[in-house]
Every structure is written in structure tokens, then in C-alpha cells.
Amino acid sequence: MPTERERRFVGPRRGQLIFALFFVSVSILLLSQIGSQTKWVENSKLFAQPRFWPAVGLAGMVLLGAAHLYLMPWRRITRDDVTELRKWAQVLEFAAWFMAYVLLVPLIGYLPVTMAFMPLLTWRMGYRQPGMLWLSVGFAVAVVVLFKGLLSVKIPGGAIYEFLPGALRSFFILYL
């Protein structure tokens, strides 16, 4: 049964408690590491210390986050909070796609991995027509040509290129 204070609250409430708990927890963790991650320089003014402003910011995050938690009109996690948390967690899928891409480029090569991931992500986003999939492959080739060929971005060649004959291997490492 909601309290009078909970009923009077105006605004969205889903996910606020979980976010506030996470925010305060991470802020406390970061503040606890300030001594090992920053320096205190002898004979330096307080405001010029490398540790001072990060400590002020983190202390403010802890205090204001704790005040937000204390002033929240509800203190229990509901089904709406869990639903909101699931929506936030969906972002992690694309972080996993990106990490897989980053890990595979040095092994297989920039062009093959890009040509594989573009249609996969196109399919994942719901564009399943053959034309869209081929367009994504063409876009992958254009991206590789732009970054490696025209902009000369230094991206490591794939380890699989080592098995190619000499001149072809050099070409693949430099341009693909």
C-alpha cells in the first residue's frame, strides 16, 4: 500500500531507486580508491593538489547521491524498476558486439571482420531484406577504404594475413 508521500510524488519513478543505489555505490567505491589513484604533492597549495578536485567531486557525488536516496519517497524495488533495469541492460548487448569486433580485428583483419559484422548488425537491427544486407557489405568496404586507404589510419593487420604469400601479405596488411 503506497504511503501518502509516495502518492504525492509527481514524476517518473521507475528505475530511480536502482539508479540511485548504483550511483552511490560506485561513488563510494571511487572515493575509496582516491588515495591509491592520485597523488598528494608536498609543498603545493591545497587547490593545486592533483587529489583535491577529484576528491571534492567524488565527495559531492557521495553526499548528494545519499541525500537523494534519503529524500526519495519510496524505498522498495517494484516490477517497474526491474523492467527499467532490463531496458538499461539491453545496451550491454551492443557493448559485447563492439568488444567482439575489437578482439577479432587483430586476428582476422579489418576488412573481413567489418564485412561480417555490418550485415550481422544490420540483421540484428531488423533490416532483413537482401538489398539492405548487401548495402551494409558495400558500406563496410567503403568504411575500410576510407579509413585505411584514404585517411591512412593505422589499424593492425590480421594475424591470419601471415599465411599469405609475401607481396599479397604486404598488400593486405597495408590496405585491408
User: Is the pLDDT score of 1 beyond 80?
Assistant: no
Return the higher-pLDDT residue of 18 and 11: 18
pTM: 0.64
Query: What Rg, from alpha-carbon coordinates, does the chain have?
Result: 25
Give the model's pLDDT for residue 102.
95
Residue range 160-169, pLDDT digits in tens: 888 888 888 8
Give the model's pLDDT for residue 168.
84
User: Is the pLDDT score of 5 beyond 70?
Assistant: no
The Cα 39–Cα 51 span in angstroms is 6
Backbone angles phi, psi at 146, to 5 degrees: -65, -50
